[in-house]
């Protein structure tokens, strides 16, 4: 039997046999007394944890039952990890949590805590003299007192209620019924599931401060570090939003969590090896070493396995202990009293010192990785039996019985009642509706409210020219940018960033070299001096962590504007955009969002600088991310309004925007001839911002000559080259429309169709690559719209960009554009 002992039926049988064999204690213990003489938990409190653990276990059994007849879609369970119920009990329900996918018991405890806190608040409002917590609530969420100075004793167990241990089983489950229904709805992909709405089975709910994580293979750890840093920065942010005086939009930034909250982030032992985990630990330690505070409690739930791959004995502890700047604590997840005591100590330490710690919680894994996993293929019967002996739910039951809080028979009655209730709920949710159309699925992906975005830009203009005019003039040293004369692309972006920082008190600009140095290309020069190191700051050299800081800051209520120094470096960390940033609203139906405007210096054509790392023209990975906004400003007079649109869209709709800045155009001044200054442009005064507003997904068209013969569709560096080519063609009597896409995602499809149809001849100039480049999307849009005219592409070669003059062999040139146009016109 041992080879199959972790099947659902055998796990259930083993539990029943064990409880039936437990000898009753010699005397009954008062449930209000400590469960043992020196335990931080009373008998009633431990019984509460047992009920949460049992609910989680029965949910795992229900998942396998649902899967057996094709109605369940998720069987990665929490069996063996139920010790995390004690971790939840040691925290406050307002501490934001990013949870491992084996966190069923944690979720149950948190849901009950939040419900009890709401009931207590309602009761206090109705009757201020009443007791703080109603007796019906088995778990409450009273405030935990500030932890004393080191060394701290375990915090008082105020996260659990004092209840009568003889409460009827049905009443015991009542505290967890809502949580159980949430989880079951996720299993059957019900559209009524409270966080993802049937899009994925996740642990998450806004009112529980649980942020959904769609893949807990460490990708959420950088976000957790960012949340911790943001919590601390918001504590210190002055009410003006800028250093040294009131800006146009004075006022404190609203934070979603209390100022003394800590962030908890759980993950499995195999995830310790992931690059994202390494980045997160390193960043937390780096900031701690630098004297900045990151109140994050990492919880490593170590069952010794990553699906079938074993973690080498002692490796996880050695790895976690070696992280500089992160305090290490360990506990046995099969011992609820120890797990609670250590978790309470860890939480109190992080809360008091605002520094990171890691709790190494040793667990087991029961019933395999998921429903299709046959553990007997890679684990011996002895290993499976050893794990069963450490079943945390049985461990809690043994302690309750030996302490005289309950008998095995009474606990089995609670177990059976919970199982019946969970099965009843499972049958109920089976009939609930599912997502039935593409429109339903994508409705939560990336809301677009262009009218509200335009209004936000107008409001910013009104503030800048009205109540904030004085502060704006002061920030610009008495000479606002509209009086500075013609600007380059870099100067225009710099001024727009300054205006953004003035208008958005929650905005922060950060990245490698952006503060003291002012950026490699000077784009952020002077911003730190004007707005202070709390709002413009340098980060360590790690793109994953830069994005993680942005993701966490956005969740915390800030408006992050991180910079990735070069496009090629983004590929090191692109999953933070794809798997984390872009999915947040999708998998939370907008309950959570991480607004962000990511500035990236990129594309090719830098002279005397080089190779592919500094001349990267690969943007396919960005255009492939659903909901992501990708902006490419080519001209100075487009850069500022496009950046304002991105900031407004992030603030209004929670958009994740990539602002891809063509490096080669940063300091370009001329268009046709040296000294003509035709690539410079003035910066608009606030009164002109509304008229110059650039909505997301709208192109710009330049007409050269009659503009009747040819349409060139391009972007970025291609705009300048195409305008030069159009000038040559004009001398040959050819009238050209040069359309700057400006937005690569979403593409300005309506503008593409209109301008293509106007001439019937389209030349797509794509400075990226022929395969996977932007041009493919443009041609596809034309075909989908039924365009019947002539079309041709001029695109970069499918190659990395080499060093020196060889780059010209693989990149688009003005001459190639001219030749392509002539070929097209000759058809």
- Peptide bond preceding 746: is omega within 30 degrees of 0, i.e. cis? yes
Q: What is the mean pLDDT of residues 746-762?
A: 97
pLDDT at 229 > cutoff 80: yes
pLDDT at 204 > cutoff 90: yes
| % residues pLDDT > 90 (the chain) | 79
pLDDT at 457 > cutoff 50: yes
**Do residues 309 and 379 make contact, with C-beta atoms less than 8 angstroms apart?**
no
Give the model's pLDDT for residue 132.
46
Tokens matching residue 252: 């404190």
Give the model's pLDDT for residue 254.
73
User: What integer best gives the mean pLDDT of the chain?
Assistant: 90
Give the model confidence (pLDDT) of 695-738 as tens digits. Answer: 999 999 999 999 999 999 999 999 999 999 999 999 999 999 99
Measured N-to-C along each axis, helices 275-289 and 543-555 cross at an angle, to the nearest 10 degrees, of 80
CB atoms within 10 A of CB 470: 11
Give the model confidence (pLDDT) of 776-825 as tens digits. Answer: 999 999 999 999 999 999 999 989 988 888 888 899 999 999 999 999 99
Give the model's pLDDT for residue 173.
86
Give the model's pLDDT for residue 189.
95
**Do residues 825 and 709 make contact, with C-beta atoms less than 8 angstroms apart?**
yes
CB atoms within 10 A of CB 324: 11
| % residues pLDDT > 70 (the chain) | 92
CB atoms within 10 A of CB 568: 20
pLDDT grade for 214, boundaries at 50, 70 and 90: confident
Q: Tokens 């499972």 appear where? A: 426
Give the model confidence (pLDDT) of 529-563 as tens digits. Answer: 999 999 999 999 999 999 999 999 999 999 999 99
Q: What is the mean pLDDT of residues 41-61?
A: 96
CA angle, corner 120, sides to 117 and 122, nearest 5? Answer: 110
CA angle, corner 160, sides to 156 and 163, nearest 5? Answer: 120
Give the model's pLDDT for residue 677.
96
Q: What is the mean pLDDT of residues 190-209?
A: 94
Cα atoms in the 13 Å half-sphere on the side-chain side of 790: 16
Give the model's pLDDT for residue 217.
83
Q: Which of 2-11, 118-127, 155-164, 468-477 has the highest mean pLDDT?
A: 468-477
Give the model's pLDDT for residue 160.
43
Give the model confidence (pLDDT) of 620-679 as tens digits. Answer: 999 999 999 999 999 999 999 999 999 999 999 999 999 999 999 999 999 999 999 999
CB atoms within 10 A of CB 521: 18
* Region of residue 663 (phi > 0: left; psi between -120 and 50: alpha; otherwise: beta): alpha
Q: Which of 792, 826, 12, 22 is nearest to 406 (CA)?
A: 22
**Do residues 582 and 626 make contact, with C-beta atoms less than 8 angstroms apart?**
yes
Q: Which of 255, 200, 194 is nearest to 228 (CA)?
A: 255
**Do residues 350 and 296 make contact, with C-beta atoms less than 8 angstroms apart?**
yes
- The residues annotated as belonging to the active site are 614
Compute the distance between CA of residue 581 and CA of residue 328 in angstroms, rounded to an integer. Answer: 29
Q: What is the DSSP code (8-state) at residue 560?
A: E
Residue that wins the pLDDT comparison between 419 and 233: 419
Q: What is the DSSP code (8-state) at residue 77?
A: -
């Amino acid at each position: 039997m041992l080879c199959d002992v972790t099947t659902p039926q055998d796990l259930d049988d083993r539990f029943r046999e064990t409880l039936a064999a437990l000898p009753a204690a010699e005397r009954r213990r008062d449930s209000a007394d400590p469960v043992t003489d020196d335990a931080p938990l009373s008998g009633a409190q431990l019984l509460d944890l047992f009920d949460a653990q049992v609910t989680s276990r029965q949910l795992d059994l229900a998942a396998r039952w649902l899967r057996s007849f094709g109605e369940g879609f998720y069987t990665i369970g929490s069996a063996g990890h139920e010790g995390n119920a004690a971790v939840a009990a040691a925290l406050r329900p307002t501490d934001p949590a990013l949870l491992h996918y084996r966190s069923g018991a944690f979720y149950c405890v948190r849901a009950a805590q939040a419900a009890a806190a709401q009931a207590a608040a309602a009761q206090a409002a109705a009757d201020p003299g009443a007791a703080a917590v109603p007796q019906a609530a088995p778990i409450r969420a009273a405030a935990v007192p500030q932890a004393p100075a080191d060394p701290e004793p375990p915090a008082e167990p105020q996260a659990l209620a004092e209840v009568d241990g003889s409460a009827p089983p049905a009443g015991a489950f009542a505290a967890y019924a809502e949580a159980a229904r949430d989880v079951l709805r996720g299993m059957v992909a019900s559209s009524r599931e409270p966080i993802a709405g049937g899009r994925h089975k996740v642990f998450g709910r806004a009112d529980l401060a649980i942020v959904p994580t769609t893949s807990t293979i460490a990708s959420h750890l950088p976000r957790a570090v960012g949340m911790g840093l943001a919590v601390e920065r918001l504590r210190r942010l002055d009410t003006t939003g800028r250093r040294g005086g009131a800006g146009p939009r004075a006022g404190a930034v609203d934070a979603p969590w209390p100022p003394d909250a800590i962030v908890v982030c759980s993950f499995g032992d195999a995830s310790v090896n992931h690059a994202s985990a390494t980045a997160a630990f390193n960043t937390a330690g780096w900031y701690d070493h630098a004297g900045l505070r990151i109140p994050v409690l990492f919880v490593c739930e170590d069952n010794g396995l990553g699906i079938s791959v074993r973690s080498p004995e002692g490796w996880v502890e050695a790895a976690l202990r070696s992280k500089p700047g992160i305090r290490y604590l360990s506990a046995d997840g099969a011992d609820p009293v120890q797990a609670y005591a250590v978790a309470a100590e860890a939480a109190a330490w992080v809360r008091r010192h605002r520094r990171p710690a890691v709790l190494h919680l040793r667990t087991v894994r029961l019933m395999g990785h998921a429903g299709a996993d046959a553990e007997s293929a890679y684990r011996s019967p002895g290993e499976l039996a050893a794990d069963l002996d450490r079943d945390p739910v049985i461990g809690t039951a043994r302690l309750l019985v030996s302490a005289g809080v309950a008998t095995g028979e009474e606990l089995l009655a609670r177990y059976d009642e919970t199982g019946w209730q969970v099965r009843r709920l499972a049958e109920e949710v089976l009939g609930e509706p599912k997502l039935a159309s593409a429109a339903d699925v994508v409705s939560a992906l990336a809301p677009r409210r262009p009218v509200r975005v335009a209004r936000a830009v107008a409001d910013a203009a009104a503030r800048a020219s009205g109540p904030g005019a004085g502060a704006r003039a002061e920030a610009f040293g008495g000479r606002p940018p509209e009086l500075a004369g013609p600007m380059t692309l870099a100067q225009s972006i710099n001024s727009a960033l300054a205006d953004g920082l003035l208008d958005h008190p929650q905005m922060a600009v950060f990245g490698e070299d952006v503060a003291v140095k002012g950026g490699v290309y000077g784009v952020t020069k002077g911003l730190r001096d004007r707005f202070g190191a709390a709002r413009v700051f340098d980060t360590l050299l790690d793109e994953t962590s830069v994005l993680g800081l942005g993701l966490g800051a956005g969740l915390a209520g800030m408006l992050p504007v991180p910079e990735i120094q070069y496009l090629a470096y983004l590929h090191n960390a692109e999953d933070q955009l794809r798997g984390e940033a872009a999915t947040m609203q999708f998998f939370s139906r907008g309950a959570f969002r991480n607004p962000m405007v990511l500035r990236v210096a990129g594309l090719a054509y830098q002279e005397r600088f080089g190779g592919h790392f500094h001349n990267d023209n690969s943007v396919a990975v960005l255009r492939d991310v659903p909901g992501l906004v990708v902006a490419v400003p080519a001209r100075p007079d487009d850069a500022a309004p496009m950046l304002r649109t991105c900031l407004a869209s992030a603030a209004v709709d929670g958009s994740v925007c990539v602002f891809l800045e063509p490096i080669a155009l940063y300091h370009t001044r001329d268009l046709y001839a040296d000294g003509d200054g035709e690539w410079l442009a003035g910066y608009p005064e606030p009164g002109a911002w509304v008229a110059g507003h650039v909505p997301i997904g709208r192109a710009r068209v330049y007409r050269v000559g009659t503009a009747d013969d040819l349409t060139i569709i391009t972007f970025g560096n291609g705009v300048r080259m195409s305008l030069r080519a159009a000038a040559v063609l004009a001398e040959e009597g050819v009238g050209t429309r040069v359309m700057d896409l400006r937005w690569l995602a979403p593409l300005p499809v309506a503008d593409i169709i209109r301008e293509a149809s106007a001439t019937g001849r389209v030349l797509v100039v794509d400075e990226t690559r022929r395969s996977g480049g932007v041009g493919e999307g443009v041609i596809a849009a034309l075909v989908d719209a039924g365009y019947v005219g002539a079309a041709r592409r001029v695109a970069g070669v499918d190659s990395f960009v080499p060093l020196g003059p060889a780059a010209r062999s693989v990149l688009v040139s003005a001459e190639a554009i001219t030749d392509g146009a002539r070929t097209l016109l000759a058809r």
